[in-house]
Amino acid sequence: MPEDKKQQLRKSLIQKRNLLSQHQIDVAEESINEQFWEKVSTSPKVLHTYIPINKEASTLGIIKKALSYGWTIVVPQTLKNRQMRHLVLSNLDDLEEERFGTFIPKNKEEYKGAIDIVLVPGVGFSKQHGRMGYGGGYYDTFLPQHPSAKKWGITYKFQIIEDLPLEEHDVLMDSLLIG
């Protein structure tokens, strides 16, 4: 698919997402939470996740519950050149806004260990678990560095696209949690 068509698809999906009501977001989050906890045990793990912005499918319920179970929660800080720094999140009350309107822990404690599960945001996903992000390449760079981590895409139903354009460098998700 030509890049301009890919950009048009991104724009269209983000516009649809921006129209979601808070009730729709909450219902989707509840469904995603249920799917997540059906797949994992509660024994402590390392979870890499995003803090949702701009009506992205929410991971906040998962984060809160995982913290209560003593899990290590790691969130990305976007840097230049498609790089991310991985920061330990100990609570959701001590955050500061970063580039692209994302949020990171104020303490900026860096995590460099192994990761068990990565919850991956996206603009669109395919039924075959392909992912189209925002176009910055951050997750395309990060995910191959953690081949043993489970990679789960977090998405709304309308973001599942039959003929999603994928490229050679795109990393397939192991599973999709659909709200």
- Annotated binding-site positions: 6-10, 51, 56, 131-139
Alpha-carbon 59 to chain mean position? 8
Burial 148-179 (b: 16+ CB within 10 A, else e): ebbbbbbbbeebebeebbeeeebbebeebbbb
How far apart CA 26 and CA 24 sit, in angstroms, is 5
Residue 37 belongs to what H/E stretch?
Answer: helix 22-39
Select from 113, 105, 114, 125 the least CA-distant residue to 174: 125
Annotated binding site for substrate: 51, 56
Residues of each annotated binding site for ATP: 6-10, 131-139
- Report d(CA 33, CA 153) in Å as an integer: 13
**Element spanning 28, H or E:** helix 22-39
